[in-house]
Amino acid sequence: MRELLKKLSETHGPSGREQQIARLITGEIRDYVDEVFTDTLGNLYAVKRGNGTKVMVAAHMDEIGIIVTFIEEKGFLRFSNIGGVSPYILLGQKVVFANGTVATVGMEKLEDIKKLAFDKMYLDIGAGSREEAAANVRIGDIATYYRELTFSGSRAIGKAMDNRAGCAVLVNAIRELEKTDNEIYAVFTIQEEVGLRGSRTSSYRLNPELGLAVDVTPAGDTPEPPVAMDVYLGRGPAIKVKDASVICHPRLKELLLELTEQEGIPCQLEVLQAGGTDAGAIHLSREGIPSAVISIPCRYVHTPGEMVDITDMQNAVRLLKSFLSHPLEMQKIFPCFLT
């Protein structure tokens, strides 16, 4: 798990530029599934065939980033955000482009730090002129945090735990899963961070009977946490009740809870007030697809120092395997919404 997570974390893959990360995941999963394919937008599908219930499990593979908007005469680059990037967290960081070009994030003189915004900031790749800068970086190139993944006991610290932690859980669950009746589509989705875009098109394409997303959720166990959450690192995966994008199907949520009890898997319940995940798009696909979410608790989401607990990820793998190998008989799970 640690080795895989490190590779996934350190690989470049901002929204809309998921090719490198898709290649890595393909290599990790290909030998364990019946088929791997991509679609025109870049979603990556890994299929385990079966005659039973058709299940889509989504883990978004994109990460947040910044995009070059303008190259100045002296070679400094102006930029905008791709997904939820905070100027305060970005300031002073190193960022890296797909071609390996590294930049420092600087800022103009500011009387009031509260006025810090992207238009007061720039990237410095060490170029002395616009021409020199343009030889390495073009308008529209996207950079991500430049950060190694490190471990401290059971904790992993690095960039893009949102959602490479989810990708690692899904890859490992698929690798370890014995043959079942269920027809399982593991989908590594694109562009979640800019509005659940890949999950919208991939769920339409697959038209599954059940949907599940694996993603991180903010933990509320730090001093004066920015979000009040009853979710803790190291207490197991969180089963989502709701966020701003989805109210998880109650029957599916209860089934996940039952499975944790049966298998003795530690778990927590999650209510996230803001933010969303791929299940937000999946459950609204076509006539509606009952969907749930397994969340990995994560501190400092959308910073280069995102922290997850490896044991939570291992327990998420156990829960996911248990769910995917369960006889997911639709008539039994959903006899009638009124009963």
Residue 293: C-alpha distances to residues 99, 217, 260, 269, 336 (Å): 34, 10, 14, 11, 22
Nearest-approach distance from CB 277 to Zn ion, in angstroms: 6
Buried (b) or exposed (e) across 258-295, using 16+ Cβ within 10 A? ebbeeeebebbebebeebbbbbbbbbbbeeebbbbbbb
Which one, 308 or 310, has the nearer CB to Zn ion?
308
Q: Site residues (CB under 5 A) for Zn ion?
A: 162-163, 215
Which one, 162 or 183, has the nearer CB to Co ion?
162
215 binds, among Zn ion, Co ion, none (CB under 5 to 8 A by kind): Zn ion
In 3D, which of 225, 316, 307, 317 has the Cα closest to residue 272? 225
Which of the following is catalytic: 18, 28, 192, 270? 192
Q: Strand pairing of 238-242 and 77-82?
A: unpaired
- Please confirm, yes or no, whether 192 is among the known catalytic residues: yes
Position 162 contacts Co ion (CB under 5 A): yes
Question: By 3-state DSSP, what share of the chain in percent is helix, strand and coil, each rounded to 5?
Answer: 30, 30, 40
Nearest-approach distance from CB 86 to Co ion, in angstroms: 12
Nearest-approach distance from CB 230 to Co ion, in angstroms: 20
Candidate ranges 100-108, 156-164, 228-236, 328-336; the one touching Co ion (CB under 5 A): 156-164
> Which tokens go with 334?
């959903």
Which one, 46 or 272, has the nearer CB to Co ion?
272
Nearest-approach distance from CB 165 to Zn ion, in angstroms: 9
Which one, 15 or 180, has the nearer CB to Co ion?
15
* Contact (CB, 8 A) for 210 and 203: no
Residue 60, strand partner residues: 189
Interacting residue ranges for Co ion, rule: CB under 5 A: 162
**Catalytic (active-site) positions:** 192
